[in-house]
Amino acid sequence: MTDKTIFRLILGLSIFVFIVVLILQTNVLNIFPDKTLIPSWVFMLPALNAILNGMCSILLLVSLYFIKRKQINAHKKINITTFILSSLFLVSYIIFHSTGIKTTYGGTGFIRTVYYFILITHIILAVVVLPLVLFSFQKGLQMQVEKHKKLVRWSYPIWLYVTITGVIVYIMISPYYSF
Give the rounded percent of residues in the chain with a pLDDT score beyond 90: 77
Query: Cβ-count burial of 97 within 10 angstroms (0-12 exposed, 13-18 middle, 19+ buried)?
Result: buried
Higher pLDDT, 29 or 117: 117
Residue 148 has pLDDT above 90, yes or no: yes
Spell out the domain ranges in the chain.
3-28+40-176
Poorest-pLDDT segment among 31-35, 128-132, 161-165: 31-35
> Packing angle between helix 3-26 and helix 72-97, nearest 10 degrees?
30
Spatial separation of the C-alpha atoms in residues 18 and 96, rounded to whole Å: 16
Q: According to the 3-state scheme, what is the secondary structure of 65-106?
A: HHHHCCCHHHHHHHHHHHHHHHHHHHHHHHHHHCCCCCCCCC
Q: What is the mean pLDDT of residues 110-124?
A: 96
Q: What is the mean pLDDT of residues 77-84?
A: 96
Question: Residue 61, Cβ neighbours under 10 Å: how many?
Answer: 12
Its pTM stands at: 0.90
Whole-number pLDDT of residue 99: 84
Question: Residue 113, Cβ neighbours under 10 Å: how many?
Answer: 11
Q: What is the mean pLDDT of residues 84-95?
A: 94
